[in-house]
Structure 1
Amino acid sequence: MSTLTHTDVAEVDLTLLGRTAADWNQTASHLKRLAGQARSGLLTKSEHARWDGVNATVTRDFIRKTTKEFTDACTQATTVARILEDAHQELTKIQTAVRHIRDVEAPRLGINLVGLPGMPEPSHNVRQPAVTELNQRLKVLVAHAAEIDASVARALRMSHGDDAHNFGHRTYASLDAAQTERALELARIGPMLSNAQFTELNSILAFNAKDSDFSTAFYQGLGSPKKALEFYARMSLDCTVGDQPERLALAKDLQRAMGTALASATDPDNRAHLPASWAKEFRTLGTQPIPTPALGIDRPYGYQILGGLLRYGEYDPRFINPLAEDILRIHKEDPDFFMETKPTRSHDPDFGFNPSGLSGAGYDPLTSVLEGLGHSPEAAKQFFKDDRHFDDLTRADFPWAPDTLDRSSEDTHEGGPDALGHALEAATTGHPWDDTRPGLHRDAETTAIMRKVVALYSPTSKVEPQDALMDSLGRMGAAYIDDLNYSTLDFGGGGDDLDRDQLFRTDKTRHGGFGEFEARNFMNVVASDEEGYKILSAAQQMYTSSALASFEDDRGSGMAFAHNAAKVHGILDQSRISQVELDFKDSEEQANLNEEKKGEWRKYTVESAAAAVAGVGSALILGPAAGVAVAVAVPLAMDTAAGAVGTAYGNHTLQYLKDNEVKNDAEALKSMQEIERACETEVLRPVSRYGDALGMTREEKAVLYQNLEKSHALGRSKVQSARQVA
């Protein structure tokens, strides 16, 4: 059997399928009328007739059977019509999406997909991440079409049966119903599923998980909350034990699909959803041991198993928040409560309820539910609005559980802080932490939570963020880069007549008002980290480029904005430079230096800059002003983002570390000066474009650059002063 391609999906004539569905609907209507006539006519007369002899049994039974066949034929025709109608509707949506990629999105990237079975290699001037993302979406759409095709074929076979003289075998109200039946049929096999059957189950679940009719019917079909947990526990433990990469990959897909389906099935706003009793039962089971043969005497609690599912899916606050609050309560009362059931299998660190391996092995439900909040922005926002929850989880001495079976690992307590960062990202951005689709949903509540974060993680606070939090803090800072710029603006030097809100082209309710001191300290802490510096620098470059593009008619405001942006760049640059100095000061171990080189933060490119702020990129570009032209701002931002960390900066830093190991000699000082100049050059990139747009002469730009260097130096000096005080 040949593999389905995007060309097949794009070119197939679905009008034939639509007409076929209509024909079957008409056939079902005719058969319904005939069945009615058979019952009211033939059967009625037969039942009231006075039969004698053989006719009393043979003929009467034949008429009864014939009448039933009319009814069964009508039922089968109705089933076929419904299945074909649903298939036509779903495949039409998929075809429309595939054609849009082929005819609109691919040409924008300089790619011609017409007549090609797959995605060609991009030309040198096309961004590889964009091509990869496009290709992935195409693959998902084609796989979905293939799954529908297989489901329809299977449902039609089941409806027809294998008896050529008998209508009406399996009946389905919809394609969803047929897929639900098959998914439950496979689920009942449990760990004995072959890889091919497991793949089929995952495919059905993945493409229907967000359909509440399907997801609700699937979980109800499993039997009860307890039986659902038992099923997932068996599958997860069976696939994570030992070295079986294929089964582990299948378990990861099952975890994601079942979690997404649970989120859909427990949303009270969906037309079809599980009753509220399920949520109540999950909480009851949370602290009850669940017999699990694979663990023997180590019986996990319900929350530990449920946690594996909560890690995926966007959950309604009414379902997940009571779970999160209950789990946090239990953890506060006894931090080791759930760890007591953790098996002793140090040789098998994957074994557990989290096949994904992200942020722990799955024995700590607090880590799991925080990951769930990280995918559920509205729930996360409501959860962290409560100062008690925020304060409890961000305490410097919070006792995070060692959610790993690998006792040799140095990161045994990293899973919890990592998940906390993800939950805070969702709460402050209104966006699932790992969703790369652009879309910030900030409001007064998300901004209030971000204000608490900014105030908490600064050198003047008593809380020092753990390394596992830094990438999240960087992305949160990127999502609020406009607010950080807004908050660091001061009007000294003749700019006192400027209106802050006018300069940032916004209303007063938009910005966080973090305070100049708090914003600067937050950036100082986050940018001192390698990953945090990458993300914030990329965001600052993109934001500056986009904002300046909106000031072409207001040179005074544009200059003021540019100077403030340069100061922010100075804060970021000096924060990272100072940390590099500190990390290698008086160090005699070349091994440490080599470890620092492995970070490759010096080899930053436009692609990694875009990836660093994935999900917030377009919001940054459009954030400064409603009047920014997308067609101009996006290419401008992406071009300048190539220097977000800067190859010049990177090369000088690498050579500096290699040659001098940060010794306080003349050569080291000279190298550091070169680093500083490289940083300043990167600041000038977006401003140079702005100057060109204004028609500045070379002499005018030279004067502007000199002034911007002073602003950059001002930002750096603020960091140096703060560190000296600290």
Structure 2
Amino acid sequence: MDIMEGGDVEKTVGYNSLGHALEAATLGVPHGSDSAALGRDEDTALVMKKVINAYGGNPDLMNDQYGMSDSIGRMTAGYIDDLNYSATNFAGSGDAYNREELFGSGRNDFGDLQTKKFLLTVGRNEESYEIASSVQQVYTASGISGHADQSDAMAFAKRSMWFHGALDEARTEQIGKDFAEEADKKNMALEQQAEWRKFAVGAAVAGGVAVATGPVAVAAYPIVVPLAEQAGEAVKTGSSNEIAEWLKENEYDNSRQAVATQQDVIHAGQVAAATPILNYLDSSDVSEEDRRNFIDTLQGVYNDGRMATNTDNAPGQ
């Protein structure tokens, strides 16, 4: 089946099959596998690049292909490290920024613009958004805990805030469009969006990956999240229990927060994105002045991410 083929509800089974095939081709493990592992290589990354270009190049394609969204979410989760790396290349500044220091060597570069377009597509859909947002928080926690150098940890945190901002803006904007004249349905959608924040990180952390469980696990098999390279090294040296405990302690439960407006959702997204970062600051030797300046910077970076997927600034989206 052509990856660019559109469709309707009657083709759900076909699109589910397409999604499952693409999961296997990009993640290197069969769809439905209970293995907490990824089998990524050059060939699987090439398929993922085609997925990013296809769905990022047509923001409506995934919604037209009913039944694809969870697979797109799982593929996003499996390449969350490469997507963060690819998005850290403003005006070709990736080398100057030394992004390999943050995200590790050997990362796949899917292109800055292509990645932003793909995040717009992912963020627009409830299911893919929930998965991507949840695993991004796991990835953030692993990255800032894994960097021994404080400046690297803070740089990693800033890039994660940008990523969260891009996803949150895409989702809240889409909710506004979907329910512009139906206030009750819109409020229900906003409340449901916050439910993903009750996700939990499983204790299974091994081989440089974590397993997301709870509401985010939309099927009966795990969503595998590649940890930041530095955390992966810690796992290899026998610190897996410490990493799992750190991730567990830094999860965020938004279930008790009232969510009635798009502004509330953005606020909830900001809190969820910042939680592991603020916990890091609390446990680190950072001066009050530096802490304040860094938190101010985080707010600006988050808003920069929102601007990247705000279609009011991108005619034709």
> Which band: TM-score by shorter chain?
0.7 to 0.9
Residue of structure 2 equivalent to 1:606:
199
Q: 1:695 aligns with which of 282, 285, 304?
A: 285
User: Alpha carbons of 1:426 and 1:706: their partners in 2 closer, same or farther (altered >3 Å)?
Assistant: same
C-alpha deviations, 1:119-159, integer Å up to 9, x for none?
xxxxxxxxxxxxxxxxxxxxxxxxxxxxxxxxxxxxxxxxx
Distance 2:265 2:302 in 1: 13
1:502 aligns with 2:98: no
Distance 2:47 2:95 in 1: 30
* Contact 2:104 2:228 survives alignment (8 Å): no
Task: State the secondary structure of the residue aligned to 2:174.
Answer: helix
Offset of residue 545 of structure 1? 0.3
User: Alpha carbons of 1:440 and 1:689: their partners in 2 closer, same or farther (altered >3 Å)?
Assistant: same
Distance 2:116 2:15 in 1: 23
1:560 aligns with 2:155: yes
Structure with greater strand percent: 2
Distance 1:397 1:678 in 2: 34
* Contact 1:524 1:571 survives alignment (8 Å): yes
User: Alpha carbons of 1:498 and 1:593: their partners in 2 closer, same or farther (altered >3 Å)?
Assistant: closer
* Contact 2:252 2:275 survives alignment (8 Å): no
Residue of structure 2 equivalent to 1:455:
53
* Contact 2:161 2:273 survives alignment (8 Å): yes
Equivalent runs, 1:299-314 vs 2, <5 Å: none
Offset of residue 635 of structure 1? 2.0
* Contact 2:147 2:153 survives alignment (8 Å): yes
Distance 1:602 1:673 in 2: 12
Distance 1:515 1:496 in 2: 13
1:482 aligns with 2:75: no
Residue of structure 1 equivalent to 2:34:
436
Offset of residue 502 of structure 1? 2.3
Q: 1:640 aligns with which of 250, 257, 278?
A: 250
C-alpha deviations, 1:236-267, integer Å up to 9, x for none?
xxxxxxxxxxxxxxxxxxxxxxxxxxxxxxxx
Distance 1:704 1:495 in 2: 21
1:651 aligns with 2:258: yes
User: Alpha carbons of 1:606 and 1:594: their partners in 2 closer, same or farther (altered >3 Å)?
Assistant: closer
* Contact 1:606 1:639 survives alignment (8 Å): no
The one of the two structures with greater contact order (alpha-carbon pairs below 8 A, sep at least 6) is 2
1:394 aligns with 2:7: no
Residue of structure 2 equivalent to 1:569:
164
Task: State the secondary structure of the residue aligned to 1:527.
Answer: helix
User: Alpha carbons of 1:462 and 1:685: their partners in 2 closer, same or farther (altered >3 Å)?
Assistant: closer
Counterpart amino acid of residue 503 in structure 1:
L
Residue of structure 1 equivalent to 2:110:
514
Residue of structure 2 equivalent to 1:413:
11
Distance 1:693 1:550 in 2: 13
Q: 1:584 aligns with which of 148, 156, 179?
A: 179
Residue of structure 2 equivalent to 1:620:
226
Offset of residue 462 of structure 1? 8.0
Distance 1:500 1:596 in 2: 36
C-alpha deviations, 1:29-84, integer Å up to 9, x for none?
xxxxxxxxxxxxxxxxxxxxxxxxxxxxxxxxxxxxxxxxxxxxxxxxxxxxxxxx
User: Alpha carbons of 1:725 and 1:435: their partners in 2 closer, same or farther (altered >3 Å)?
Assistant: same
Offset of residue 651 of structure 1? 2.4
Q: 2:146 aligns with which of 550, 554, 561?
A: 550
How many residue pairs get aligned? The number is 295
User: Alpha carbons of 1:596 and 1:564: their partners in 2 closer, same or farther (altered >3 Å)?
Assistant: closer
Q: 1:529 aligns with which of 106, 125, 131?
A: 125
Distance 1:624 1:677 in 2: 30
User: Alpha carbons of 1:714 and 1:446: their partners in 2 closer, same or farther (altered >3 Å)?
Assistant: same
C-alpha deviations, 1:646-680, integer Å up to 9, x for none?
447x622xx23xxxxxxxxxxxxxxx444333322
Distance 1:620 1:427 in 2: 17
Q: 1:705 aligns with which of 295, 304, 317?
A: 295
**Normalised TM-score (structure 2):** 0.82
* Contact 2:80 2:136 survives alignment (8 Å): yes
* Contact 2:11 2:66 survives alignment (8 Å): no
Offset of residue 446 of structure 1? 0.5
* Contact 1:542 1:620 survives alignment (8 Å): no
**Normalised TM-score (structure 1):** 0.38
Distance 1:595 1:462 in 2: 23
Distance 1:583 1:706 in 2: 33
Distance 2:176 2:187 in 1: 15
Q: Where in structure 2 are there 5+ consecutive unaligned residues?
A: 202-211
**602-611 vs 562-571, greater mean Cα deviation:** 602-611
Equivalent runs, 1:240-251 vs 2, <5 Å: none
Task: State the secondary structure of the residue aligned to 1:503.
Answer: helix
User: Alpha carbons of 1:531 and 1:452: their partners in 2 closer, same or farther (altered >3 Å)?
Assistant: same
Distance 2:244 2:36 in 1: 13
**556-565 vs 537-546, greater mean Cα deviation:** 556-565
Distance 2:180 2:282 in 1: 42
Offset of residue 559 of structure 1? 1.8
* Contact 1:610 1:638 survives alignment (8 Å): no
Distance 2:28 2:297 in 1: 38
Q: Where in structure 1 are there 5+ consecutive unaligned residues?
A: 1-391, 399-409, 657-671
Distance 2:57 2:181 in 1: 23
* Contact 1:573 1:679 survives alignment (8 Å): yes
Distance 1:593 1:499 in 2: 42
